[in-house]
Amino acid sequence: MAKTLILRCSVNSLITLLFAFVFVAVYWAGERRLRVFEDEDHETMQRNSSAKCNLFSGKWVFDNKSYPLYKEKECTFMSDEFACEKFNATALLEKLRGKRMVFVGDSLNRNQWVSLVCMVESAIPAALKSKQLNGSFFKFKAIEYNASIDFYWSPMLVESNSDDPVTHRWPERVVRISEIAKHARQWTNADILVFNSYLWWRRRPKMKLL
């Protein structure tokens, strides 16, 4: 009886081991076949991609067809004042030929002046442009066009204790409300004037009007 039981257990163990072996063999064979297919697919993709496109050889091509997606004036919802054409530095310089444009105000106008000058000067050879800093004046000149684009620091437009382009932040702002002549002399011969001042008239810090 005991021998029969031992024999039956041995047979069961052998069958279990046989099933385990078959399962492992089938699984390993499937993994190997899948790996072979993946390697073949990868090699095929590499061959196809290398035949169509070499990322390390070629040149940049300007795409003037895909973008812009619309032309400003062709959009029925675009207001005329926002339908700005692409900036053309030489076209602007032609309009400014023989003229003087002056930005007057605080850092907001100075930033706009810087932006405009940066866009314009890229179209001018180094020998045909000049820049000069003189006190409250920042001057840029396109010599070939005899055109000047200047910035004059005058945050209140009239005289004040904030007229210094470097030291102008005080706990109390003093403004000579009727005195504009001193500053106005700096831009009387300008053809185009761009003013900006409102932020400096806020009541913080304190303001004293004379």
Q: Write the pLDDT tens digit of every residue in 65-109.
A: 776 777 777 888 888 888 877 889 999 999 999 999 999 988 889
Query: Is residue 143 within 8 Å of residue 130, measured between CB atoms?
Result: yes
Q: In what order do the strands lie in the sheet with 206-209?
A: 159-160, 172-176, 206-209
The residue out of 58, 76, 107 marking a domain boundary is: 58
pLDDT at 2 over 50: no
**Domain count across the chain:** 2
**154 lies in some domain:** yes
Q: Tell me the C-alpha distance between 143 and 75, whole Å.
A: 39
Residue 25 has pLDDT above 70, yes or no: no
Q: Establish if 78 belongs to a structural domain.
A: no
Residue 120 lies inside a defined structural domain of this protein: yes
99 in any annotated domain: yes
Say whether both 143 and 200 belong to one domain. Answer: yes
Q: Average per-residue pLDDT in the chain?
A: 78
Q: Considering the domain boundaries, does residue 75 fall inside one?
A: no
The values of phi and psi at residue 64, to 5°, are -105, 10
Q: Give the whole-angstrom CA distance, residue 4 versus residue 12.
A: 12
Within a domain: 70: no
pTM: 0.60
Task: Look up residue 58 and give its amino acid.
Answer: G
204/111 same-domain check: yes
Closest CA to 147 of 158, 155, 139: 139
Mean per-residue pLDDT, 42-63: 70
C-alpha to C-alpha distance for 191 and 94, rounded to whole angstroms: 14
Q: Is residue 81 part of a domain?
A: no
Beta-sheet strands, E only, within 147-197: 147-153, 159-160, 172-176, 192-195
Domain boundary, last residue among 41, 58, 75: 58
Higher pLDDT: 25 or 141? It is 141
Asked, for residue 157, whether it belongs to a domain, the answer is yes
Which domain range does residue 5 map to? 1-58
